[in-house]
C-alpha cells in the first residue's frame, strides 16, 4: 500500500510531523509527503519519506498565493499519479483539514484521515478528535494510530544522520544562539541576544550564532566579536549538523528549536506565549522555557507583538539564559 502524508506549513511543523511519518512508513510500502515550500527542506530530512511533493497552498502560510485553477489541476494530476491507498492530513489545532481533504478526494485517494472538529461530510473516512492539550507531535501520532498506523518507536523527533559540522564550527565544545524567528512576535530582541552572547562567552562558553541567508545582518550584530557567525552559511542539513554538535541551543519558538530536538540537543527556549507552549515546546529533549507564559499576548497567535516593549520575552535577561544553559549543560 502506498501512503500520502500532508503537512502544508513551515519547517518546524514538518519536523513535528516526523514521528507520525515514521509510523506510516512502518506499515506502508512507500510514503509521499505533500508539503509547502517552507517545509520542504525539513521534509527531505525526515526518515521514512520516499518522495516529496511541494505545493504552496492558498490556505496556509504567512503570504498564501491566490487560488489558481490551472495550478490545482496540475497538483491533482501529480497526486493521482502517486496512487496512494490512504492519506493522513496533519494540521495544527487551529486549522481545518477539509480543503486538503477535498483535493485528495478529487485526486482519487480512497481513504483519508484527519483531525476535524468541523463536520467533514464525505471528505474524511477517519474523523479523529485530538486531545485538547496535546503537543503537536503527540497529536499527529494519535491521528496516525487512529488511522491504523501505531507508533513503531519512542516517538521522538528525528532526522537523517546529520553531516559533520567541524569544518564550519571548528574544534571544541560550543553553545548555539539562533536569534531569528519566523515571525517577529516570537523573537527575542537583537540587543538581548547580543547581551546573551557576551554573557555566555564571559561564562566560558564558546558561542556559535546561526541564521538563514536573509539574517546575515542580524547574526553579525548578535555575534559581535565574541562568537562565531555562521549566518547564511548553513542549509537545513548543515544546520542539523551544527545543532547536533552543540552542548545546547538557545532560540525562540521557531524551526531550529525543533531541529535541535530532532538531533537530540537540549534547548533553552525563549518562548513567546502567542501560541501555547504545551503544544509547541521543544519535544523529547531536556529544555528550559523562558518567557512570561501568562503575558497579555498569550494565545493570540499574533505575528507582531501586540504589547509595547515585547515584555513576555524582553524581560528575560542574559543572566537568565546563562543560568538555563548551565543547568542543561551540567545535566548532560
At residue 300, the pLDDT reads 87
Residue 61 has pLDDT above 90, yes or no: no
Q: Is residue 160 part of a domain?
A: no
More confident residue, 86 or 117: 86
Q: Which of 242, 156, 154 is nearest to 206 (CA)?
A: 242
Tell me: do 116 and 214 sit in the same domain: no
pLDDT value at position 152?
A: 87
Contact 281, 271 (CB under 8 A): yes
- Domain tally for the chain? 2
What value does the mean pLDDT take over residues 210-225?
Answer: 96
- 307 and 180 within one domain: yes
- Are residues 221 and 250 part of one domain? yes
Q: Which domain holds residue 240?
A: 166-331
In the chain, DSSP assigns E strands to 2-7, 30-35, 51-54, 86-89, 112-115, 126-128, 175-178, 207-209, 228-229, 248-252, 267-270, 287-290
Of 99, 115, 146, which residue is a domain's last?
A: 146
* Range in 211-225, 245-259, 287-301 the model is least confident about: 287-301
Q: Which of 118, 146, 174 is the last residue of a domain?
A: 146
Share of the chain above pLDDT 70, in %: 100
> Are residues 182 and 307 both part of a single domain?
yes
Q: Measure CA of the first residue to CA of the last residue in the chain; give whole Å.
A: 42
pTM, two decimals, is: 0.96
Same domain, 39 and 140: yes
Max CA pair span of the chain:
61
Q: What is the mean pLDDT of residues 74-95?
A: 96
Domain assignment present for 180: yes
Average pLDDT over residues 151-169: 95
Last residue of a domain, one of 146, 174, 197: 146
- Identify whether residues 322 and 257 lie together within a single domain: yes
Tell me what pLDDT residue 306 has: 85
The pLDDT score that the predictor gives to residue 332 is 75
96 part of a folded domain? yes
- Are 197 and 226 a contacting pair, CB within 8 Å? yes
Describe the crossing of helices 98-106 and 69-82 by its angle, rounded to 10 degrees: 70
Residues 250 and 108 in one domain: no
Residue 155 inside a domain? The answer is no
Under the banding of pLDDT at 50, 70 and 90, the label for residue 182 is: confident
Q: What is the pLDDT of residue 305?
A: 86
Q: What pLDDT, in 10s, does the model give residues 288-322?
A: 999 999 888 888 888 888 888 888 898 999 999 99
Task: List pLDDT tens digits, range 221-243.
Answer: 999 999 999 999 999 999 999 99
Q: Model confidence at 265, in pLDDT bands (50, 70, 90)? A: very high
User: Does 209 map to a domain?
Assistant: yes
How many residues are there in the chain? 332
More confident residue, 319 or 330: 319
283: pLDDT confidence band, cut at 50, 70 and 90? very high
Q: Are residues 176 and 48 in the same domain?
A: no
Whether residues 130 and 204 share a domain: the answer is no
pLDDT at site 121: 95
Give me the pLDDT at residue 201, please. 97
Within 13 A of 72's CA, how many CA atoms are on the CB side? 15
Alpha carbons within 13 angstroms on the beta-carbon side of residue 325 total: 26
pLDDT tier for residue 185 given thresholds of 50, 70 and 90: confident
259 pLDDT exceeds 90?
yes
Residue 15: phi, psi to the nearest 5? -60, -40
Please indicate, yes or no, if residue 284 is contained in any of the structural domains. Answer: yes
CATH number assigned to the domain comprising residue 101: 3.40.50.2000
Lowest mean pLDDT: which of 40-49, 72-81, 221-230, 294-303? 294-303
Q: Does residue 293 lie in a domain region?
A: yes
In a domain, 18, yes or no: yes
Amino acid at each position: 500500500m502506498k501512503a500520502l502524508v500532508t503537512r502544508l506549513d513551515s519547517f518546524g511543523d514538518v519536523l513535528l510531523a516526523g514521528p507520525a511519518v515514521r509510523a506510516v512508513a512502518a506499515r506502508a510500502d512507500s510514503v509521499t509527503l505533500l508539503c509547502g515550500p517552507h517545509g520542504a527542506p525539513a521534509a527531505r530530512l525526515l526518515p521514512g519519506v520516499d518522495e516529496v511533493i511541494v505545493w504552496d497552498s492558498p490556505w496556509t502560510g504567512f503570504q498564501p498565493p491566490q487560488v489558481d485553477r490551472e495550478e490545482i489541476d496540475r497538483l491533482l494530476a501529480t497526486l493521482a499519479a502517486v496512487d496512494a491507498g490512504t492519506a493522513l492530513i496533519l494540521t495544527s489545532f487551529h486549522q481545518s483539514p477539509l480543503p486538503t481533504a477535498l483535493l485528495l478526494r478529487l485526486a482519487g485517494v480512497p481513504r483519508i484521515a484527519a483531525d476535524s472538529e468541523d463536520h467533514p461530510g464525505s471528505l474524511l473516512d477517519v474523523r479523529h478528535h485530538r486531545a485538547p492539550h496535546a503537543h503537536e507531535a503527540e497529536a499527529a501520532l494519535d491521528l496516525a494510530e487512529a488511522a491504523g498506523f501505531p507508533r513503531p518507536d519512542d516517538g521522538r523527533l528525528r532526522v537523517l544522520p546529520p553531516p559533520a559540522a567541524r569544518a564550519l564550527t571548528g574544534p571544541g565544545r560550543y553553545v548555539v544562539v539562533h536569534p531569528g524567528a519566523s515571525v517577529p512576535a516570537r523573537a527575542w530582541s537583537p540587543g538581548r541576544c547580543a547581551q546573551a552572547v557576551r554573557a555566555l562567552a564571559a561564562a566560558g562558553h564558546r558561542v556559535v550564532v546561526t541564521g538563514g541567508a536573509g539574517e546575515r545582518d542580524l547574526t553579525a550584530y548578535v555575534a559581535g566579536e565574541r562568537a562565531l557567525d555562521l549566518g547564511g552559511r548553513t542549509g537545513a542539513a548543515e544546520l542539523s549538523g551544527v545543532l547536533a554538535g552543540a552542548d545546547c541551543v538557545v532560540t525562540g519558538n521557531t524551526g531550529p528549536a525543533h531541529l535541535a530536538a530532532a538531533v537530540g540537543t537540549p534547548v533553552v527556549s525563549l518562548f513567546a506565549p502567542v501560541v501555547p507552549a504545551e503544544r509547541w515546546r521543544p519535544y523529547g529533549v531536556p529544555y528550559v522555557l523562558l518567557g512570561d507564559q501568562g503575558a497579555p499576548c498569550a494565545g493570540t497567535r499574533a505575528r507582531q507583538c501586540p504589547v509595547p516593549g515585547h515584555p513576555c520575552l524582553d524581560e528575560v535577561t542574559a543572566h537568565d539564559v546563562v543560568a538555563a544553559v548551565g543547568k542543561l549543560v551540567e545535566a548532560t
